[in-house]
């Protein structure tokens, strides 16, 4: 009997991504490094090209037709971002180069202005370097003190310890929504509510959540949330900072220059209204158009559908990986339906170095990440130098997971012969 092939979400959308037709080392590309950056659909590439072919001009400057078209496209994309994460207003969305720049913006403006010696910043040991190093710099300059929430036995956010660390001294809590290494989903809504009891502000690193599930910043009630366009089907060079309007308003400017001013005198300036106060110089207009197109693309599929499909894929990934005795996976296990954690797996394989694994897998056309994934302190905490990581997105298929698992098993066999 012939069973009709089930057409999954991935099978429907894969043709949109030209790069997925690539061959690598003579093999079809199996791209499993989505936590580092996502691939881009034709719709986004077209929007970028079309902007330069038809609308290119500088924004907010000219009254000529192209300038107003460019401005509309640029501001229209901001509105799309605001709607996508349910911000109260597009004024709460500041374009940045990426999530890292967005965090630096908050650290250098709000942090520098408000932190005093002895004030405490609570972060977690699972933070990406981007949500760690800026706070180290600001702590060194202001005399503020960094405190760290560690992990539970299942390698998740330690809620009890968090509650013990919070105090009147806590001025800021910075926490990753979904860990790019552990894949755990942190209870951000509860984290914010708890921080509020002490009047602390909360910044959420949404790099791994915004591309994968519906996000509602008003429900989370965070003060800031950051994300990068390139991990959500848009171009590199664009990301955003969401901030509550009254907080953005009281933050001093970050970079100075054109676009961010109201009146300029030789010795002083007044600043533009939000969000332009934080956008000095000619912005990444084409990239903003691309992130708008990416949001349209994701919204057309539906973030609920993306999340549901990733759960399915995740259940399969863990089922297969759990069968390989040499593999140690970090972070919590998913529930039986694949929910409860992100669709990625960081793992080690006994003696085998992650870089060697990744090199062998690359020969089979399988792209996975090897190293510390910008979470070096977390790796140190876990007692490993580095790990390998396979991370999925909605265009990945079960067949690709099969190809990955097969290549992984072959690599393990290869190294077990070497190590004996
Ligand atoms: C990728 C990532 C970042 C940094 O994003 P950039 O685009 O490199 O600025 C920060 N946090 C997490 C959790 C990430 O996955």
Q: Residue range 240-246: average pLDDT?
A: 98
The verdict on the CB of residue 124 being under 6 Å from ligand 1 is no
Residue among 186, 205, 227, 376 whose CB has most ligand 1 atoms within 8 A, to mutate: 205
Atom of ligand 1 nearest to the CA of 230: 7
pLDDT digits (tens, 9 = 90+) for 339-374: 999 999 999 999 899 999 999 999 999 999 999 999
pLDDT at residue 2 tops 90: no
pLDDT at residue 404 tops 70: yes
Residue among 99, 107, 179, 342 whose CB has most ligand 1 atoms within 8 A, to mutate: 99
The verdict on the CB of residue 127 being under 6 Å from ligand 1 is no
Residue 61 pLDDT: 77
The verdict on the CB of residue 130 being under 6 Å from ligand 1 is yes
Atom of ligand 1 nearest to the CA of 37: 1
Flag whether the pTM goes above 0.95. Answer: yes
The verdict on the CB of residue 227 being under 6 Å from ligand 1 is no
The verdict on the CB of residue 33 being under 6 Å from ligand 1 is no
* Cα separation, 256 vs 166, whole angstroms: 35
Look-up of token digits 């959540």: 209
Of the candidates 163, 207, 233, 374, the residue annotated as catalytic is: 374
Spacing, Cα 164 to ligand 1 middle (Å): 28
pLDDT digits (tens, 9 = 90+) for 210-225: 999 999 999 999 999 9
pLDDT digits (tens, 9 = 90+) for 156-198: 999 999 999 999 999 999 999 999 999 999 999 999 999 999 9
Q: Which residues of 144-169 are buried (b: 16+ CB within 10 A; e: fewer)?
A: beebbbebeeebbbbeebbeebbeeb
* Cα separation, 94 vs 90, whole angstroms: 9
The verdict on the CB of residue 175 being under 6 Å from ligand 1 is no
Mention every residue, 6+ apart, whose C-beta is less than 8 A from residue 344: 34, 35, 180, 183, 389, 390, 391, 392
The DSSP call for residue 411 is H
Spacing, Cα 206 to ligand 1 middle (Å): 8
Displacement of CA 37 from its chain's centroid (Å): 9
CB atoms under 10 Å from CB of 281, counted, come to 10
Residue 222 pLDDT: 98
pLDDT at residue 420 tops 70: no
* Cα separation, 164 vs 334, whole angstroms: 28
* Cα separation, 378 vs 398, whole angstroms: 30
Which of 104, 167, 98 lies closest to 135, judged by CA?
104
Which of 127, 346, 88, 70 lies closest to 217, judged by CA?
88
Q: Is 207 a catalytic residue?
A: no
The DSSP call for residue 340 is S
> What tokens appear for 375 in the block?
């979470």
Distances (CA, A) of 258 to 59, 224, 278: 11, 25, 11
Residue 3 pLDDT: 52
Distances (CA, A) of 233 to 8, 191, 229, 230, 299: 19, 29, 7, 6, 12
Spacing, Cα 225 to ligand 1 middle (Å): 12
pLDDT digits (tens, 9 = 90+) for 278-292: 999 999 999 999 999
pLDDT digits (tens, 9 = 90+) for 127-139: 999 999 999 999 9
């Amino acid at each position: 009997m012939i069973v009709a092939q089930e057409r999954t979400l991935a099978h429907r959308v894969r043709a949109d991504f030209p790069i997925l037709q690539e061959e690598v080392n003579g093999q079809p590309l199996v791209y499993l490094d989505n936590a580092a950056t996502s691939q881009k659909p034709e719709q986004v590439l077209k929007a970028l090209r079309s902007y330069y072919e038809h609308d290119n001009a500088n924004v907010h400057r000219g009254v000529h037709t192209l300038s107003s078209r460019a401005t509309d496209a640029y501001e229209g994309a901001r509105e799309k971002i605001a709607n996508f994460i349910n911000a109260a207003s597009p004024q709460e969305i500041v374009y940045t180069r990426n999530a890292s720049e967005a965090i630096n913006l908050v650290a250098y403006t709000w942090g520098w202005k408000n932190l005093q010696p002895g004030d405490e910043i609570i972060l977690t040991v699972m933070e990406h370097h981007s949500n760690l190093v800026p706070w180290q710099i600001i702590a060194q300059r202001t005399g503020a003190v960094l405190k760290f929430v560690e992990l539970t036995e299942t390698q998740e956010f330690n809620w009890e310890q968090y509650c013990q660390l919070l105090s009147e001294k806590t001025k800021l809590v910075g926490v990753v929504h979904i860990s790019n290494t552990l894949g755990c989903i942190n209870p951000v809504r509860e984290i914010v509510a708890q921080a509020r009891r002490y009047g602390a502000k909360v910044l959420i690193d949404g790099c791994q959540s915004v591309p994968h599930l519906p996000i509602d910043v008003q429900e989370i009630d965070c003060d800031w949330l950051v994300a990068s366009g390139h991990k959500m089907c848009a171009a590199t060079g664009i990301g955003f900072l969401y901030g509550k309007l009254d907080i953005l308003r009281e933050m001093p400017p970050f970079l100075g220059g054109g676009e961010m001013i109201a009146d300029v005198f030789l010795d002083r300036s007044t600043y533009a209204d939000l969000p332009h106060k934080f956008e000095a110089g000619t912005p990444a207009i084409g990239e903003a158009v691309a992130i708008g197109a990416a949001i349209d693309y994701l919204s057309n599929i539906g973030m609920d559908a993306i999340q549901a499909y990733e759960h399915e894929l995740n259940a399969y990934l863990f089922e297969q990986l759990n069968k390989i005795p040499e593999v140690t996976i970090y972070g919590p296990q998913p529930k039986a339906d694949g929910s409860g954690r992100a669709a990625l797996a960081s793992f080690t394989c006994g003696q085998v170095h992650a870089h060697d694994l990744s090199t062998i897998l690359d020969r089979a056309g399988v792209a996975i990440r090897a190293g510390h994934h910008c979470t070096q302190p977390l790796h140190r905490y876990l007692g490993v130098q580095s790990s390998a990581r396979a991370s999925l997105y909605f265009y990945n298929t079960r067949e690709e997971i099969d190809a990955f698992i097969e290549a992984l098993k072959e690599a393990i066999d290869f190294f077990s012969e070497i190590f004996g």
